């Protein structure tokens, strides 16, 4: 019900409104505009590993390759012939001889060869035996080598050098060794050497050690104990005095009566003179002979025991030879494998003739050079005893090289 209280409240509200109107009119006017809401999206970077196919870059075409034509022309150059002034035949010597001796005395040889053949020759001294062989193998068409026998065998095996001449010493183109034992020792054969002690003058000598070692090895005989002595003489004295059971020394066969023939290896006994039953004696000239000198129908004994005869006259009576080695050629002159055959055949007898001349005494035959008394023709088959040693003992090359000069 509309009451007096309500009328009073209504009047109060109207009065308050009238009071507020001036205040509101004095305030700045603000226009409120409602705009659509906007949202900023947060950006998050996430590293993702994945396989992405990458397109191959387009190949850049290469420029065309011009065609190049190569023409090869073979020009055959013929070297000057061996023995010409541009290319003299080369004489190769080992280093053991003094260089001045080789140069001076070798010149006499080259002049003699030039006069005999009309060709040119040159002396060269190598630094070693190995270098000498190497040079012959590298230059096989114009080289002539002066080699020990084993050096030739090694060179022949390596590059087929060819032997032509071998040195002659004391009228022999070869050397040999012998085994000597006391006559009362009971040693008669190689088999008897098993378990014995022997004296050798050189442990690397081909004929005074290695050949017999090869024989014993081939026969399956245990090798004896070897003691190295200074020389043939000291080794022989050792067996004579009973210090050892046997000795190995140099062997030279006897000269036969009237020089009617020469002693033959494999046919004649090494002590052929014993068949006379007469002991050796000293000849007034100095030789050891049986009965007389060969010119008078006797034997000249030349093995290494002769050097002891004056000191020990009973050396021949108290000792016996129980074995000898095969003959091994002396120093060798060899041609390169491709040396002109016709020239090699000409030079072989020319070398022999030179060695028999007085010129050789002033050249390679002089005592300060080789001391040869001559040269003889040799064949490759003559070197088989050395190949026998190499094969039987399976001797390595480094040991074989060490035997050179022994």
Residue spans per domain, the chain: 89-171+330-402, 174-250+322-328, 253-302
Q: In CATH, what class is 89-171+330-402? A: alpha beta
Model pLDDT for residues 73-82, shown as the tens digit of each residue: 777 778 899 9
Model pLDDT for residues 325-334, shown as the tens digit of each residue: 999 999 999 9
- Cα(238)–Cα(228) distance, rounded to whole angstroms? 11
DSSP state for residue 180 in the 8-state scheme = E
Task: Measure the CA angle with vertex 279, ends 275 and 282; round to 5°.
Answer: 130
Q: Is the pLDDT of residue 161 over 90?
A: yes
Residue in 279, 262, 369 with CA at minimum distance from that of residue 317? 279
Give me the mean pLDDT over the 290-315 stretch. 96
- Cα(404)–Cα(131) distance, rounded to whole angstroms? 13
Model pLDDT for residues 364-383, shown as the tens digit of each residue: 999 999 999 999 999 999 99
For residue 118, give the 3-state DSSP assignment.
coil
Residue in 225, 200, 227 with CA at minimum distance from that of residue 211? 200
- pLDDT score recorded for residue 14: 46
Q: 139 and 90 in contact (C-beta within 8 Å)?
A: yes
Confidence of residue 285 (pLDDT cuts 50, 70, 90): confident
Confidence of residue 50 (pLDDT cuts 50, 70, 90): low
Give me the mean pLDDT over the 222-248 stretch. 96
At how many degrees (to 10) do helices 129-138 and 149-159 cross? 30
- Cα(173)–Cα(262) distance, rounded to whole angstroms? 13
Q: Is the pLDDT of residue 105 over 50?
A: yes
Give me the mean pLDDT over the 335-346 stretch. 98
Model pLDDT for residues 129-144, shown as the tens digit of each residue: 999 999 999 999 999 9
Higher pLDDT, 185 or 59: 185
Confidence of residue 291 (pLDDT cuts 50, 70, 90): very high
Give the mean pLDDT of the chain. Answer: 88
Same fold, 89-171+330-402 and 174-250+322-328: yes
- Name the least confident of 39-48, 179-188, 267-276: 39-48
The rounded Cα 62 to chain-centroid distance in angstroms is 56
Token reading at 394: 């399976």
- pLDDT score recorded for residue 20: 45
- Cα(119)–Cα(114) distance, rounded to whole angstroms? 5
Token reading at 340: 């002109």
Give me the mean pLDDT over the 292-300 stretch. 96
Q: Is the pLDDT of residue 47 over 70?
A: no
Tell me the CB-side half-sphere exposure of residue 107, using CA atoms within 13 A: 5
The percentage of the chain sitting over the pLDDT mark of 90, rounded to a whole number, equals 77
Give me the mean pLDDT over the 65-71 stretch. 70
Give me the mean pLDDT over the 337-342 stretch. 98
Tell me the CB-side half-sphere exposure of residue 180, using CA atoms within 13 A: 33
- Cα(78)–Cα(92) distance, rounded to whole angstroms? 24
* Strand 121-125 to 288-290 pairing: unpaired
Q: 82 and 339 in contact (C-beta within 8 Å)?
A: yes
CA-CA distances (angstroms) from residue 371 to 64, 97, 114, 349?
Answer: 77, 12, 23, 19
Superfamily of domain 174-250+322-328 in CATH is Periplasmic binding protein-like II (3.40.190.10)
Token reading at 187: 């040693």
- Cα(210)–Cα(325) distance, rounded to whole angstroms? 10
- pLDDT score recorded for residue 30: 36
Please name the residue ranges forming H helices in 254-393: 315-318, 341-355, 358-361, 384-392
Q: 332 and 147 in contact (C-beta within 8 Å)?
A: yes
Q: 236 and 283 in contact (C-beta within 8 Å)?
A: no
Token reading at 310: 């004056």
Q: Is the pLDDT of residue 27 over 90?
A: no
Q: What stretch of H or E contains 374?
A: strand 374-377
Token reading at 375: 């040269």
């Amino acid at each position: 019900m509309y009451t007096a209280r309500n009328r009073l409240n209504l009047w109060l509200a109207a009065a308050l409104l009238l009071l507020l109107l001036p205040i509101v009119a004095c305030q700045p006017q603000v226009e409120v505009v409602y705009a659509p809401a906007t949202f900023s999206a947060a950006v998050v970077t996430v590293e993702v590993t994945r396989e992405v196919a990458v397109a191959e870059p387009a190949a850049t075409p290469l420029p065309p390759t011009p065609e190049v034509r190569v023409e090869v022309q073979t020009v055959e150059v013929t070297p000057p012939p061996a023995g010409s002034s541009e290319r003299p035949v080369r004489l190769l010597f080992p280093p053991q001889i003094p260089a001045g001796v080789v140069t001076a005395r070798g010149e006499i040889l080259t002049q003699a060869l030039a006069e005999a053949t009309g060709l040119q020759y040159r002396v060269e001294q190598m630094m070693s035996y190995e270098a000498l062989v190497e040079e012959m193998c590298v230059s096989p068409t114009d080289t002539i080598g002066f080699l020990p026998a084993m050096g030739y065998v090694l060179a022949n095996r390596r590059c087929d050098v060819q032997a032509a001449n071998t040195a002659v010493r004391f009228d022999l183109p070869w050397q040999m060794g012998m085994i000597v034992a006391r006559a009362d020792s009971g040693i008669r054969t190689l088999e008897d050497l098993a378990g014995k002690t022997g004296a050798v003058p050189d442990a690397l000598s081909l004929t005074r050690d290695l050949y017999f070692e090869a024989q014993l090895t081939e026969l399956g005989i245990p090798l004896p104990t070897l003691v190295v002595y200074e020389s043939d003489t000291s080794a022989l004295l050792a067996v004579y005095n009973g210090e050892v059971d046997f000795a190995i020394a140099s062997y030279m066969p006897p000269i036969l009566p009237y020089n009617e023939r020469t002693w033959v290896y494999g046919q004649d006994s090494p002590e052929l003179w014993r068949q006379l039953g007469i002991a050796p004696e000293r000849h007034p000239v100095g030789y050891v002979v049986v009965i007389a000198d060969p010119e008078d129908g006797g034997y000249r004994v030349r093995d290494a025991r002769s050097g002891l005869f004056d000191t020990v006259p009973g050396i021949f009576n108290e000792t016996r030879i129980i074995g000898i080695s095969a003959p091994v050629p002396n120093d060798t002159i060899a041609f390169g494998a491709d040396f002109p055959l016709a020239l090699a055949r000409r030079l072989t007898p020319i070398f022999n003739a030179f060695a028999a001349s007085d010129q050789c005494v002033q050249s390679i035959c002089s005592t300060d050079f080789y001391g040869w008394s001559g040269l003889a023709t040799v064949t490759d088959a003559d070197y088989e005893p050395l190949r026998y040693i190499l094969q039987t003992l399976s001797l390595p090359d480094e040991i074989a090289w060490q035997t050179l000069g022994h």
